[in-house]
Structure 1
Amino acid sequence: MTDSIDATPRGGVEAPDRFRTMMRGFPTGVAVVTATDLAGQPWGMTCSSVCSVTLDPPTLLISLRSASPTLAAILGCGRFTVNLLHDRAWRTAELFASGNPGRFDLVDWDLDADSAGPHLGSDAHAAADCRVGTTVPAGDHTVVFGEAYRITLRPGHPLLYGLRGYRRWPSAEPTN
């Protein structure tokens, strides 16, 4: 038996909760999106709404709360970094999801002249420096398309999030 509801606003007050429950069962990679504001202050937040859009030009999509100070920094400077966290970085994922104003004092990070935002080198297996392209408002979020101009890769397995928990990517070889 299938349990379904209409998820549109007219579907009732339980629609957002049921949508959240559905998405909990869809595991995703974990990233910390970072930028610096015009004064040079670092900003960042945990983001699981990241996906590749196209290879030519290499473009990523991120979705951030419209009221987020990280989004304000991204829009102000016109660039951002997507740090893909490795499987031992779940504490960093929680830290950047917490809103702790001192989060950058609690992690190793670097920012060179070519970086779009802080790189979390000790916690990320990859980082993409991006220039802001198109932005699209979507409910209480803003979707940002970013063209990747530099990719940094390090050894490590991706951190996954689903069913309200962090997991390690299985080490077995994928099957085709």
Structure 2
Amino acid sequence: MTGTPLDPRALRDAFGCFMTGVTVVTALGPDGKPLGFTANSFSSVSLDPPLLLVSIANSSINRAAFESAPGFAVNILAEGQKDVSATFARPVEDRFATVYWRKGPVGSPLIAGVSAWFDCTLEQAVAAGDHTILIGRIGGFEATPAPGLGYYRGAYVTPAQTAAQLPTGPDVVISAILEAGGQILLMDDGQGGLTLPTARVGREGVQTALAQLIAATGLTAAPGSIYAVYEDVAQGRQHIAFRCAAETGRPARGAFVDLTAEGVADVTDPAMRVMLERLADEARIGNYGIYFGTHEQGRVQRTGER
């Protein structure tokens, strides 16, 4: 278990190892009783401050309780906990009746024997289509040597199974919006158009992938705040875009263009182009928001809005 402040390197390593797999998200209800549901994945959002996100279906009877709870925990199940996954995935009157748990350092229920856990305070709850995204600020975490439990194509998988049975690649894509002096960095997308610096995320985790993506541009920039989270339903990918303040300089690839609708007109991907057009409008009036939804529709939540 970590203390306060959290160890960024240990937290980054934990994210890199446990970004995928079967998780049980838990919280305490208004009556003090534990609540939980099974989720197939979660995402790191930021290391400074340490934030992660999970989503809960709006149809869940526990959605309101999770939105109003002071915090929640993400429990990454170990390979021997298929029964726990099944219990929290189906309607059961008391899902904790056969599960040993304790309160974590932040106060959320932690399930015994898991591969890892993250205990969080609720930073923000954001409506996004038919789900609600829960953003948590990590107050404590622990990663154990126990191998994690995965789920792929309708079946559980474990590290002991062959690599051929596992997904061929990650389904998380990140983009870096590198801003300097009213301009942003765009690159040739190889299709006659432009794109943001973009990378797919592997086991290294989002934050490490973002740092590597920025370094590859040859610019000096700090990994910034999340600006958009959206799902490309057709391709089965989740996109996360980060705004990063960059120092003016000569990039190793691409070039800076004006942050205007005209400047981003040659961006090939429609969702990315619309996102950048929104950023241009927000930069002009100084009122920024975070987009949550799909590549076709969603909502913008203004900073500080609940």
TM tier relative to shorter chain: 0.7 to 0.9
Residues 116 and 171 of structure 1, relative CA distance in 2, 3 Å threshold: farther
TM-score of the superposition, structure 2-length normalised? 0.44
Shift of 1:170: 4.3
Q: Please, which of 129, 136, 139 is the counterpart of residue 149 of structure 1?
A: 139
Q: Counterpart of 2:26?
A: 34
Shift of 1:84: 0.6
| DSSP 3-state at the match of 1:107 | coil
1:108 and 2:100 correspond: yes
Q: 4+ residue stretches of structure 1 with deviation over 3 A? A: none
Task: Find the structure with the greater CA-based Rg.
Answer: 2
Structure 2 unaligned blocks of 5 or more? 1-19, 163-202, 205-306
Distance across 1 between alignment mates of 2:161 and 2:98: 29
Q: Counterpart of 1:117?
A: 108
RCO (CA 8 Å, sep 6+): is it higher in 1 or 2? 1
| DSSP 3-state at the match of 1:53 | strand
1:128 and 2:118 correspond: yes
Q: Please, which of 137, 153, 166 is the counterpart of residue 163 of structure 1?
A: 153
Q: CA RMSD in A?
A: 2.3
Distance across 1 between alignment mates of 2:146 and 2:97: 24
| DSSP 3-state at the match of 1:87 | coil
Q: Please, which of 28, 46, 55 is the counterpart of residue 54 of structure 1?
A: 46
Give me the identity figure in percent.
34
| DSSP 3-state at the match of 2:110 | coil
Asked if the contact 1:128/1:151 (under 8 Å) is kept, the reply is yes
CA deviations 1:90-114 (Å, max 9, x no partner) are 11111100121122011111125x3
Q: Name the aligned partner's letter for residue 140 of structure 1.
A: D
Q: Name the aligned partner's letter for residue 153 of structure 1.
A: A
Write the mapping of 1:34-113 to structure 2, written as runs, cut at 5 A: 34-111=26-103
Q: Name the aligned partner's letter for residue 34 of structure 2.
A: P
Distance across 2 between alignment mates of 1:76 and 1:135: 9
Asked if the contact 2:70/2:122 (under 8 Å) is kept, the reply is yes
Matched length: 146
Shift of 1:159: 0.7
